[in-house]
Structure 1
């Protein structure tokens, strides 16, 4: 079985695979829109049909409360070869605002070496690299060096709602030695990145109820504790003067960076001026939690952010009203080993402790997700390092991400398998924004890397 033969096959059929990607991207599988339920089903069936044509077995659509999971496999757990579970998602973000697209979002266009379309990088193009790699092996060798299982969901863009239960219910079928996720980007145009950590999340709404109804500020001002003022006062008590979250017990289980990880983080080039002026556009950076670098604060430290305050009169003009109520929307990003349910309890206790007797509050937990941290020395991670080197000619850096990917912690906890987050996108792919793209060279570099990764995993299993 030759990885070189598989790569040569994929290279010889690049036009076919690009057309295949374009066909997939034409399906407007917007998972968050009820108007696109039929398109979601069409995208799922498109994937199932592709898996069957490639030669996978046990192909099926696993029903969920919303959109189906597409499953397919090759090989058997009884074989001595390691088993890889490939995760991806076929749902995409809405294309709004469509007027800012240079080309129609669901009419894929190839320009300047890029495929422009919604979902090109997130995640249709990236997940397709593994299906192409599998087909290339089967067409040239009749077999794949590892056992493969594909688990492709349609609810990632709405928080992978219900996926924890699906993974739990099918844990025997999904049993594997490693999970592979390609839904990420390189560190820069020339440097691959393996994400070894994701932050967890708790998201809240806090409702503050004051008087029975809105009041005239001239008649009642000075006698009523304005719920919007209460909201501002409570928000001001969520951080201390050192930029730390002021909830008692919040940091008790935070796992600090290892010396190895901190050393590597310090030596990865990071241009704070470019980060400020090109990505953020604010007058200056907030110093945040005292004692930690910017890179550490945005990836490896927990945070609390306010997302919105609702209440009172917000239309054009003026209205002198004391609102009856106000609502705060906020979330906390969590790091290992913080438990989101414990943090939720601590937060609610803190809110009730700082609530003045002049108002009533209710606290609603809207969603939560666990943080995850992968051992960079795990064999599957080291196989990915070698595969990147063979596929792109560069070794990756290891980084945590500040974002949240709930299925990572779910896979690790339920399947007891490491998760290899090896993306093939680029930082300027415009994810969730107009003019999303995927570089054609990155797409086929991803195919090469996926082919090498399967071989590297197989070789590791036979090493003494």
Structure 2
């Protein structure tokens, strides 16, 4: 086939899967709101079957699980797995978008839409690469499996059950490519492995049967003050968690892991202040402190608070109820249930035993071995597509089910993708740069070709 025709065919293929991406963005699939999961899974089944894959959609649990398998004819073929998720965060009225979040929009070389980076755009880019390779070569040098779940944004509920159920189709893989990644602010492709874990929980206080008149404020304690004081007792002013035993199980980073982050984590306090327009002082004071905290230490965060009257005018009451949503970002070695138990004990020790804690979600943290041969192969490929060099990180500051996937499959896991430092995952105007999307397609093609 002449080169000009190959180029036209590839452009047409990319355009076709951008149309698929447009439909995926329009298909709301939000686990937290129980919206559109079955419909989106059914559409993905159709798309992958049209591409020639053997597709399984399993609806045994709350979020359908999808396996799409492209099989090589070679008896000695190795196995590559792509892990992705088709659920997204909501895009509700609390976020201001320049365009409809559920309509794929193109502006100034960028694509915008909920899920365009996290994570639907990665699905279509990788599928484009597989189909492009097949059109050129008619066969694959490796078996390729797309494993797609629908509850990643809610701590991957039931994923471990699906992994156990389909272990025979997923074990003995050579490499697992994780959901996403970025090109950093230095214009380097970031190759990372590992994620932080998390435990999320609710805290609630009831101080009386009903709200009371605020004239009793001098003698009645309120649920609001009680909860605020209780939560304040769990964290020092510098952000350190004041919970006995919480740091004891942490697996400390190796010197190699510390060196990788020191060299390749291109993140600094001034850029973060500018990016997020921060008005409060940062907890980290130095670059070294920032990187250690962000990549290798846990953090306690209040996600939201609710108590009393916040309507128009004034209502002079002492609230009888107060609640909060909290999280602890975990690092390897920390167990979500154990951490919550330690917090509960600490609150009682501090004199706040009327705070009721309820576990909501949890995942353990994980760090990849970046010296694994299959991961080194990815790094070498990325170097050919990254003129400014490649940034290699043993972990990220985000959270995902990487620990449970590794525990189930025992496969080297590496992440890279189509994002940028301001892709705004989970926020308004989520975006990817078109050139990064196209580069990812080429990189995946090269990855497949490296198994020939």
State the TM-score, normalized to the length of structure 1: 0.87
Q: How far 1:206 sits from its partner (Å)?
A: 1.7
1:406-442 residue CA offsets vs partner (Å, 9 max, x unmatched): 2x11110111112111112222223233333322221
The question of 1:126 aligning with 2:118 is answered no
**Residue 73 of structure 2 contacts residue 139 of structure 2 at CA under 8 Å; is this kept in 1?**
no
Matched residues in 2 for 1:311 and 1:234: separation?
15
- Show the counterpart of 2:411: 417
**Residue 28 of structure 2 contacts residue 102 of structure 2 at CA under 8 Å; is this kept in 1?**
no
- Show the counterpart of 2:143: 147
Q: Which runs of 5+ in 2 are unaligned?
A: none
Q: How far 1:60 sits from its partner (Å)?
A: 1.9
Tell me which of 218, 222, 229 is aligned to 1:226.
Answer: 222
Superposition pairs for residues 309-328 of structure 1, below 5 Å? Answer: 309-328=305-324
- What CA RMSD, in Å, does the superposition of the two structures yield over aligned residues? 3.0
Matched residues in 2 for 1:112 and 1:29: separation?
24
The question of 1:274 aligning with 2:271 is answered yes
The question of 1:365 aligning with 2:325 is answered no
- Show the counterpart of 1:375: 369
CA 1:415–1:136 in 2, change beyond 3 Å: closer, same or farther?
same
1:92-113 residue CA offsets vs partner (Å, 9 max, x unmatched): 3334349944444344333332
Superposition pairs for residues 163-178 of structure 1, below 5 Å? Answer: 163-175=159-171, 176-178=173-175
Matched residues in 1 for 2:73 and 2:197: separation?
32
Superposition pairs for residues 57-456 of structure 1, below 5 Å? Answer: 57=54, 59-75=55-71, 79-97=75-93, 100-175=96-171, 176-188=173-185, 190-218=187-215, 220-240=216-236, 243-268=239-264, 269-287=266-284, 293-356=289-352, 360-393=354-387, 395-399=389-393, 400-406=395-401, 408-456=402-450
- Show the counterpart of 1:462: none
1:183-204 residue CA offsets vs partner (Å, 9 max, x unmatched): 2222226201122221111112
Matched residues in 1 for 2:426 and 2:48: separation?
27
CA 1:95–1:222 in 2, change beyond 3 Å: closer, same or farther?
closer
The question of 1:45 aligning with 2:39 is answered no
**Residue 72 of structure 2 contacts residue 140 of structure 2 at CA under 8 Å; is this kept in 1?**
no
**Residue 98 of structure 1 contacts residue 434 of structure 1 at CA under 8 Å; is this kept in 2?**
no
**Residue 25 of structure 1 contacts residue 124 of structure 1 at CA under 8 Å; is this kept in 2?**
no
State the TM-score, normalized to the length of structure 2: 0.89
SS of equivalent residue, structure 1 residue 316: coil
CA 1:331–1:416 in 2, change beyond 3 Å: closer, same or farther?
same
- Show the counterpart of 2:28: 30
Q: How far 1:128 sits from its partner (Å)?
A: 1.7
Structure 1 window deviating more from structure 2 (163-172 vs 75-84): it is 75-84
Tell me which of 9, 14, 19 is aligned to 1:17.
Answer: 14
Structure 1 window deviating more from structure 2 (340-349 vs 320-329): it is 320-329
CA 1:102–1:214 in 2, change beyond 3 Å: closer, same or farther?
closer
Q: How far 1:270 sits from its partner (Å)?
A: 3.2
Matched residues in 2 for 1:385 and 1:402: separation?
20
SS of equivalent residue, structure 1 residue 132: helix
Matched residues in 1 for 2:308 and 2:446: separation?
59
Q: Which runs of 5+ in 1 are unaligned?
A: 460-464
**Residue 192 of structure 1 contacts residue 396 of structure 1 at CA under 8 Å; is this kept in 2?**
yes
Matched residues in 1 for 2:261 and 2:277: separation?
21
**Residue 31 of structure 1 contacts residue 158 of structure 1 at CA under 8 Å; is this kept in 2?**
no
Q: How far 1:162 sits from its partner (Å)?
A: 1.7
1:140-165 residue CA offsets vs partner (Å, 9 max, x unmatched): 21211211111122222333222222
**Residue 29 of structure 1 contacts residue 90 of structure 1 at CA under 8 Å; is this kept in 2?**
no
CA 1:11–1:147 in 2, change beyond 3 Å: closer, same or farther?
farther
**Residue 262 of structure 2 contacts residue 288 of structure 2 at CA under 8 Å; is this kept in 1?**
no
Matched residues in 1 for 2:100 and 2:70: separation?
36
Q: How far 1:242 sits from its partner (Å)?
A: 5.3
CA 1:201–1:127 in 2, change beyond 3 Å: closer, same or farther?
same
Q: How far 1:376 sits from its partner (Å)?
A: 0.7
1:334-374 residue CA offsets vs partner (Å, 9 max, x unmatched): 10111222212211111222234xx7332211111110110
Q: How far 1:446 sits from its partner (Å)?
A: 0.5
